[in-house]
């Protein structure tokens, strides 16, 4: 696999291989009797060397458009679980100053499973 910016590990510059990772999402809606944490299997890249995993950047414009759409849904208070999960999966792409989206995304510390 050729090395591109998209599959280069940010930690060690190793090469990320396509993988699937379990990500724990914190359910922010508690009105439903659902588990507090939801685990989803996402496509990701996993570093061969250090095991760091991340969601590859695809089309940044597309992601930004998607984030704006999700923001609208959030503001209209009609965002669905699926969309929230999507927002969480895009947390890396949210601007650091965008508190609104970051809070909604729950900002997982990283994509590796770590128990609180
Ligand atoms: Zn690495």
Give per-residue pLDDT as tens, 4-29. Answer: 566 888 899 999 998 887 777 666 65
Question: Rounded to the nearest whole angstrom, what is the distance from the C-alpha of residue 72 to the centroid of ligand 1?
Answer: 35
Ligand 1 (single-atom ion) residues, CB below 5 Å: 9, 11-12, 14, 47, 49-50, 52
**Paired tokens of 18:** 């396509």
Report pLDDT for 64.
Answer: 86
Overall size of the chain counted in residues: 116
Question: Rounded to the nearest whole angstrom, what is the distance from the C-alpha of residue 30 to the centroid of ligand 1?
Answer: 36
Report pLDDT for 19.
Answer: 87
Question: Rounded to the nearest whole angstrom, what is the distance from the C-alpha of residue 56 to the centroid of ligand 1?
Answer: 14
- Collect all residues with Cβ–Cβ distance below 8 Å to 3 and sequence separation of at least 6: 15
Q: Which residues of the chain have pLDDT under 70?
A: 1-6, 25-36, 57-60, 108-116
Question: Rounded to the nearest whole angstrom, what is the distance from the C-alpha of residue 70 to the centroid of ligand 1?
Answer: 30
């Amino acid at each position: 696999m050729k090395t591109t910016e998209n599959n280069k590990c940010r930690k060690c510059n190793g090469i990320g291989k396509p993988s699937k990772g379990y990500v724990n999402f914190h359910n922010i809606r508690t009105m439903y009797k659902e588990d507090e944490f939801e685990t989803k299997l996402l496509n990701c890249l996993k570093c061969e060397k250090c095991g760091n995993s991340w969601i590859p950047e695809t089309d940044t414009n597309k992601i930004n458009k998607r984030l704006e759409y999700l923001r609208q849904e959030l503001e209209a208070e009609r965002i669905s679980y699926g969309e929230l999960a999507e927002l969480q999966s895009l947390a890396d792409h949210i601007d650091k100053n965008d508190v609104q989206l970051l809070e909604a995304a729950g900002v997982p510390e990283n994509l590796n499973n770590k128990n609180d």
